[in-house]
Amino acid sequence: MLLLRCPLLLLLLLLPLSSRPQKLPTRDEELFQMQIRDKAFFHDSSVIPDGAEISSYLFRDTPKRYFFVVEEDNTPLAVTVTPCDAPLEWKLSVQELPEEASGEGSGEPEPLEQQKQQITNEEGTELFSYKGNDVEYFVSSSSPSGLYQLDLLSTEKDTHFKVYATTTPESDQPYPELPYDPRIDVTSLGRTTVTLAWKPSPTASLLKQPIQYCIVINKEHNFKSLCAVEAKLSSDDAFMMAPKPGLDFSPFDFAHFGFPSDNNSGKERGFLKSSSKFGRHTSSKPRVDLHKVCIGNKNIFTVSDLKPDTQYYFDMFAVNTNTNTSTAYVGTFARTKEEAKQKTVELKDGKVTDVFVKRKGAKFLRFAPVSSHQKVTFSIHSCLDAVQIQVRRDGKLLLSQNVEGVRQFQLRGKAKAKYLIRLKGSKKGASVLKILATTRPNKQSFPSLPEDTRIKAFDKLRTCSSVTVAWLGTQERNKFCIYKREVDDSYNEEQKKREQNQCLGPDARKKSEKVLCKYFHSQNIQKAVTTETIRGLQPGKSYLLDVYVIGHGGHSVKYQSKLVKTRKFC
């Protein structure tokens, strides 16, 4: 009592039959296993093997029919149809097997086409029908013998699907079993994270079969099957120019229609490229906002890097890694929490404000001049990593720039205008900065800086007790102060980088570290260079040198630190 376990059986069924009743052959297990391993054997075949899931396709509005045989009455039977990326209409029916090829009993076989007509043109007894995109089952503990027909139709679009049929449903258990509570629980919810938990599949916990769990995240809807997910990941909804239905296909051809090939099953896929084999190319669409991640046999997982205040749909699939069959848990959805409302800092005209921005965070500031003005100036001193500034006037974007070091922006004013400033931190780390907004164009709190703020040390002028350094200035007359600090030989660039807060001024230094202060400028920018020899150093010692430029408003900016070492022997 079995389905058509060998595809040769259907061929035998359609071959000339003798007038004498014939019993259909039983399964050759060795041959069956060999054919099941070679999945290409069943591509574009109208035979459904017993106990193996097949994948196939449908052209829109073009019905397709599959056959299998049950030889004995009272045979258990289970049929599962899995739609992938479109709803299906399918019907299962049965008709009696022909016992004699000819009513005359002449022993002369009827022509093949006549026998085929006899079998396939008869309308059998309908057992079950379904229309929709759910994974649907037909299960019977006692089915009559006969030729079973499975008719499928897609009225929406070209699509692919999966079919599984078996006469031993109790022992086969092809799909992972769901727990008594198949829901996914949201155990924790944050602004950018959602933690999910679920009960393990009994197929893993009791039967000890290899089960892994795959999570699917998207913003549109829940999915009812893993093949629907894979179809969404791989298809671009624009099928290439296709051969007419009824032509033979190779497994290679399937990939060009957005169908998964056997070699790529279970792997994450992007959009498939079109093949010139079919005479035209299609333009690729942007990648769908859909993510699949397989996490092994864990039953708790935190999804991260989500957007705040956004609804996401979560689906979980138990996948048997031996058979690659899967079962869907009951999907869920959740909305991430809103961003914490930012407190807006009020800027006062002409006053410097210190601002701290978290890594990848944001701060909002507001500037509302009390008097009418023709221009407004924003001066920014980014002390650590670069920061992005956006300025809006009454909702209109006026400025969007990345700022490193000291920058000044002058914008056209407007009577009774209000300015909203958004500062966004970098991905590297937190940002510390000073900002000044003013309607008085001559008021500049921050000193001007040259483009190159490095300190150069002259190796040939290095002695056991002194080093000579130089740095660039500007056309504006400013005060420069140089400081030194002895450091260990193990002091490295990484430590120096951590101390590059340009907003820490000379007032944060020890008096003993001060070397000198002097005023310097040059109208010729090419000659705006100053040198200084630092004396009284110890032989063979390392020193960290810092130069501060101090503006008219008293605010200072630090040049890049320089690590120097005196000669050990002179």
* 33-42 confidence digits (pLDDT tens): 444 444 444 4
| CATH code, residues 43-96+125-172 | 2.60.120.680
CB-based burial, 50-70: b 16+ in 10 Å, e otherwise = bbbbbbbbbbeeeebebbbbb
Phi then psi for 48, rounded to 5 degrees? -100, 115
Distance between CA atoms of residues 59 and 156, nearest Å? 9
Distance between CA atoms of residues 375 and 145, nearest Å? 92
- Helices in 38-172 by DSSP H: which ranges? 112-120, 169-172
Secondary-structure class of domain 345-438 per CATH: mainly beta
Per-domain boundaries in the chain: 43-96+125-172, 175-236+288-340, 345-438, 455-565
Q: Do domains 175-236+288-340 and 345-438 have the same CATH topology?
A: no
Phi then psi for 456, rounded to 5 degrees? -105, 130
The residue with tokens 């989500």 is 306
Residue 69 corresponds to which tokens in the numbers above?
């045989």
Residue 520, CA distances (Å) to 472, 532, 559 in order: 10, 12, 15
Question: Helix (H) and strand (E) counts for the chain?
Answer: 8, 31
- Supply the pLDDT for residue 97: 74
Distance between CA atoms of residues 400 and 407, nearest Å? 13
In the three-class reduction of DSSP (H, G, I as helix; E, B as strand; rest coil), residue 162 is classed as strand
- Supply the pLDDT for residue 119: 54
Residue 31 corresponds to which tokens in the numbers above?
């041959």
Residue 162 corresponds to which tokens in the numbers above?
């999966």
- Helix (H) / strand (E) element for 478: namely strand 478-487
Distance between CA atoms of residues 154 and 365, nearest Å? 57
- Supply the pLDDT for residue 522: 87
Distance between CA atoms of residues 94 and 103, nearest Å? 22
Which residues, given as ranges, of the chain have pLDDT below 70?
A: 1-45, 98-123, 235-288, 342, 441, 443-444, 493-500
- Quickly name the fold that domain 455-565 has: Immunoglobulin-like (2.60.40)
- Supply the pLDDT for residue 99: 62
Environment class of residue 2 by beta-carbon count within 10 Å: exposed (0-12), middle (13-18) or buried (19+)? Answer: buried
- Quickly name the fold that domain 175-236+288-340 has: Immunoglobulin-like (2.60.40)
